[in-house]
């Protein structure tokens, strides 16, 4: 239903999965991104004005495609995470996980007992009744990836303890907020910020946890991220992609030199 297994298979096969963030309300945006060939979408309820119904529309738009819909929740709160899980996304992205205690809380919010505290009330996850409760519970805890964002220097300093928490499917580096927590917002190539990023990347891969990053697209820095071992990359956001292409079209038209019009009165008569 949500292509989570396809995403896992792509990672296991060594492919680098590519996605982009969704902030515009129309679910046609996610349908378009799936047609463009993205491996996943990043439905951003942390920074965009989504309610649950709007979020569901974007998740449903990916059904029948090869694209896995991820949802970044607003915060690490079990009561906020629970209704999003019931929409059956392929991944839950939890922002600002800065300690092993926060990591454990995020994992437990996404798992049913005895491994977590998730309340039972699926609808879409059991395909509206087409799947039995026992069959559903056999796969439910793997139906949605648990993705934790490392985007603060406090998290970097405790990365070993965070990675030791069972049930984490992936770590996602957030370079901009990480640099901001170090007093260097936007300076993601600063040597100190780079050392923090590479520490997280190295330790995550050594721990056998899938590594991702959310960053803007830059043809010069993309190979650097790949060399760091990232296995999935969230590049840009819908409004950036729309603006950049729209601006390129406008600029191209304005750069075309107009051919002077022929004055009808100066044409030679036969």
Annotated catalytic residues are 47
Q: Taking the CA of residue 257 as centre, how many other CA atoms within 13 Å lie in the half-sphere pointing to its CB?
A: 2
Strands 232-237 and 40-44 come out as unpaired
- Is the Cβ–Cβ distance between 148 and 168 less than 8 Å? yes
Beta bridge partners of 125: none
Measure the CA–CA gap between 178 and 196, rounded to whole angstroms. 9
Report the C-alpha gap between 11 and 20 in whole angstroms.
17
Contact between 127 and 66 under an 8 Å Cβ cutoff? The reply is: no
DSSP characters over 40-53: EEEEETTTS---HH
Residue with tokens 């840009």: 236
Token pair 């390129």 is found at: 248
- Name which of 69, 93, 63 is nearest 7 in CA terms: 69
């Amino acid at each position: 239903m949500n292509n989570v297994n396809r995403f896992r298979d792509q990672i296991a096969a060594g492919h680098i999965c590519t996605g982009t963030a969704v902030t515009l309300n129309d679910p046609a945006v996610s349908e378009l991104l799936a047609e463009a060939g993205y491996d996943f979408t990043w439905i951003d309820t942390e920074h965009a004005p989504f309610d649950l119904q709007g979020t569901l529309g974007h998740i449903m738009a990916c059904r029948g495609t090869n694209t896995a819909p991820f949802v970044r929740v607003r915060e690490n709160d079990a009561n906020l995470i629970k209704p999003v899980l019931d929409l059956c996304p392929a991944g839950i992205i939890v922002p600002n996980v800065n300690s092993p205690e926060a990591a454990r809380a995020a994992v437990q919010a996404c798992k049913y007992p005895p491994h977590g505290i998730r309340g039972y009330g699926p609808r879409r996850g059991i395909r509206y009744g087409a799947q039995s409760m026992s069959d559903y519970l056999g796969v439910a805890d793997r139906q949605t990836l648990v993705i934790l964002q490392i985007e603060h220097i406090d998290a970097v300093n405790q990365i070993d303890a965070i990675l030791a928490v069972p049930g984490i499917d992936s770590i996602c580096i957030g370079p901009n907020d990480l640099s901001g927590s170090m007093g260097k917002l936007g300076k993601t190539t600063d040597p100190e910020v780079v050392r923090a990023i590479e520490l997280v990347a190295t330790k995550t891969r050594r721990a056998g946890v899938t590594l991702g990053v959310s960053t803007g697209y830059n043809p010069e820095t993309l190979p650097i991220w790949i060399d760091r071992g990232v296995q999935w990359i969230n590049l840009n956001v819908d409004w950036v992609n729309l603006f950049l292409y729209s601006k390129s079209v406008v600029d191209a038209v304005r750069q075309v030199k107009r051919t002077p019009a022929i004055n009808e009165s100066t044409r030679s008569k036969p």
